[in-house]
Amino acid sequence: MEGRTKNRRPILATVAELAGVSVPTVSKVINGRVDVAPNTRARIEAALLELGYESPMKRRARAAMPPAVELVFGGMNEGYSLELLKGMLQEAAGEGVELVLSSMAPANLHEADHEEWARRMVESGRAGLILVTSEMSVEQLALFRAWNIPVVIIDPYNPPDSGFASVGATNWAGGKGAVEHLIGLGHRKIAHIGGPVAAECSVARQHGYLAALMGHGIEVRGEYMAMGSFSNSFGSQWAATMLDLDDPPTAIFTGNDSIAIGVLGEAQRRGIRVPEELSVVGFDGTALGGQVLPRLTSVAQPLQEMGRAALRSVLRMSRGEALDSPRMELATTLVVRDSTAPPPA
């Protein structure tokens, strides 16, 4: 499909030529007349769809409906996803906007699928798209740009270029601050279990961990590092591996709260007391971290505000307004609870 047909409503003559019928016949179908043969009607409707034509009646009906923003999660991550969603819902209520949760999985789609997805969004009158920790290439994102669909990415896996808007937190500073907290308590054998190695936020948190160790002259040990998944099971698996070492860590900084809770579970199964024998720090600051025992020390992301900021940005772009900056980073805060203490003597 040519780009010119995506951004400009085609005239009836173009539709008629593509369908092989007269302009009056096209007009009858558009205006809901019934005196058109079924086969002819089908050809005209196919041409209208291909050219992205929207009838006046459909445009008027759509104008009467509140704008809607499509939302895609790369994976529903318990407290993290819920907090982001709360913020977006709060902002949506204030703006009179609907949120539509999509089941699309961008990482599994081919280019033609993305083209069809974009076309469907235009036909549905979506105001824009918010992607949460979703893997999409610059080429895939460019398809949405070609259809003039505003896109905002929260915690992007792969950092987009400056032409795409994204919202995140100060992941590097948060990771560094978490490890410096452990160092301040006296820990020197500090491990890190992080999320996917392809995720920008995971790598930034790991780099903060490394910066803190090197800044204090503490040896970086390969057996104390693992990256792979934002999940309980991954945290439990690698906690078991690290705690089986001849010289196990006395503290573990994790890439998110889900990993940390997996570490807490493995420690409990082994009869290791937290924080007396092992300190654990999470990342995200979700409500779940405050409900486990011991309550989890965690780097809190302003998740609800990140959700609100993403929705504000996509709505501004849908109105043709320029953003102050395509990349927005909100500050993290270390929340110290009960899962960290000085190392055992």
Q: How far does CA 311 lie from the centroid of its chain?
A: 12
Closest CA to 281 of 203, 240, 338: 338
pLDDT at 84 over 90: yes
Contact predicate 322/279, CB 8 Å: no
Contact predicate 188/216, CB 8 Å: no
* Strand duo 297-300 + 333-335: pairing: antiparallel
Identify the burial level of 214 via C-beta atoms within 10 angstroms of its C-beta, where 0-12 means exposed, 13-18 middle and 19 or more buried. exposed
Pair of tokens at residue 3:
């780009």
**275 cis-preceded (ω within 30 degrees of 0):** yes
- Per residue in 55-82, pLDDT (tens digit) is 665 555 455 567 899 999 877 777 899 9
- Per residue in 257-290, pLDDT (tens digit) is 999 999 999 999 999 999 999 999 999 999 989 9
- CA 26 to each of CA 16, 31, 124, 267: distance values in angstroms, whole numbers, following the listed order: 6, 9, 22, 70
pLDDT of residue 345: 84
- Per residue in 191-223, pLDDT (tens digit) is 999 999 988 899 999 999 999 999 999 999 999
pLDDT of residue 107: 58
Residue pointed to by tokens 């929340």: 335
The strand order across the sheet containing 327-330 reads 98-101, 68-73, 126-132, 151-154, 165-169, 327-330
